[in-house]
């Protein structure tokens, strides 16, 4: 893969997700705002494009047989995978993280009031993600499965083109991306204070893992699944 100033961030991560580690290192958003060129994000972050291109190329050139090429997957398989892996992850991890967060708020909240803010943001994220995932599972995912199997032209009831629910989902991804940027800031990039107790450390480690999973989840939808759904719809329209 050749990388230039005009390469699009989201497309690079879609081709090889290992590049996400380079973008994360420089604080570049590759999932919600992945539709920008390297030149633009470098200008924004005040980084020399040559430097980041060199690091991206070195990352891609490393041989690694464990990298999953999601881009080559049929869209219905990817929809199944997202639902079974990432949607399930959110449901199960939320139930694990909430009591931990509540506990550290009770014990350490007076010295660290930012914990209450983190808890408030996390609970709001889970509430909204729960509705968000239900909408995906009822509209876009069945649309994708039906189109792949070339059944009758499927339209999510009352929604018209698949572009409509996709626009709505992408907007909600932006909202969650912003919310987790706030949690990341409040938690000092998930760094517990010196001498923090085990529960504090575990909670922050779980929150970081949750954010990483959410980034991959949103990336798979924004940069791979949704463009594939739009392409499938076009194929049927012709």
Query: Nearest approach, Cβ of 189 to Fe ion (angstroms)?
Result: 24
State yes or no: residue 176 binds Fe ion (CB under 5 A): no
Query: Nearest approach, Cβ of 95 to Fe ion (angstroms)?
Result: 18
The nearer residue to Fe ion, 76 or 221, going by C-beta atoms, is 221
Q: Binders of Fe ion among 108-147, rule CB under 5 A?
A: 136
How many Å apart are CA 144 and CA 228, to the nearest integer?
A: 8
How many Å apart are CA 82 and CA 141, to the nearest integer?
A: 10
The nearer residue to Fe ion, 53 or 78, going by C-beta atoms, is 78
How many Å apart are CA 54 and CA 74, to the nearest integer?
A: 31
CA-CA-CA-CA dihedral for 41, 45, 48, 54, to nearest 10: -60
How many Å apart are CA 28 and CA 44, to the nearest integer?
A: 9
From 176, 211, 221, 233, residue interacting with Fe ion (rule: CB under 5 A): 221
Query: Nearest approach, Cβ of 88 to Fe ion (angstroms)?
Result: 11
The nearer residue to Fe ion, 112 or 219, going by C-beta atoms, is 219
* DSSP tag of 125: H
| Planar angle of CA 19, 23, 24, nearest 5 degrees | 110
State yes or no: residue 29 binds Fe ion (CB under 5 A): no
List contacts with Fe ion (CB under 5 A). 136, 221
């Amino acid at each position: 893969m050749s990388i230039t100033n005009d390469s699009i961030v989201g497309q690079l991560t879609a081709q090889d997700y290992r590049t996400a580690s380079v973008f994360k290192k420089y604080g570049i958003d590759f999932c919600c705002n992945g539709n920008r060129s390297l030149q633009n994000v470098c200008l924004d972050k005040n980084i020399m494009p040559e430097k980041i291109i060199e690091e991206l190329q070195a990352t891609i050139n490393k041989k690694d047989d464990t990298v999953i090429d999601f881009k080559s997957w049929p869209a219905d398989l990817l929809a199944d995978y997202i639902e079974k892996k990432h949607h399930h992850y959110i449901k199960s991890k939320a139930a694990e993280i909430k009591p931990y967060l509540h506990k550290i708020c009770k014990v350490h909240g007076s010295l660290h009031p930012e914990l209450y803010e983190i808890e408030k943001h996390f609970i709001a994220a889970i509430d909204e993600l729960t509705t968000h995932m239900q909408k995906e599972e009822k509209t876009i995912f069945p649309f994708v499965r039906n189109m792949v199997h070339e059944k009758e032209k499927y339209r999510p009831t009352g929604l018209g083109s698949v572009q409509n629910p996709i626009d709505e989902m992408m907007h909600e991804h932006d909202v969650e991306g912003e919310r987790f940027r706030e949690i990341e800031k409040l938690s000092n990039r998930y760094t517990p204070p010196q001498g923090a107790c085990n529960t504090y450390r575990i909670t922050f480690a779980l929150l970081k893992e949750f954010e990483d999973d959410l980034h991959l989840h949103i990336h798979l939808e924004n940069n791979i699944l949704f463009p594939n759904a739009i392409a499938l719809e076009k194929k049927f329209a012709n």
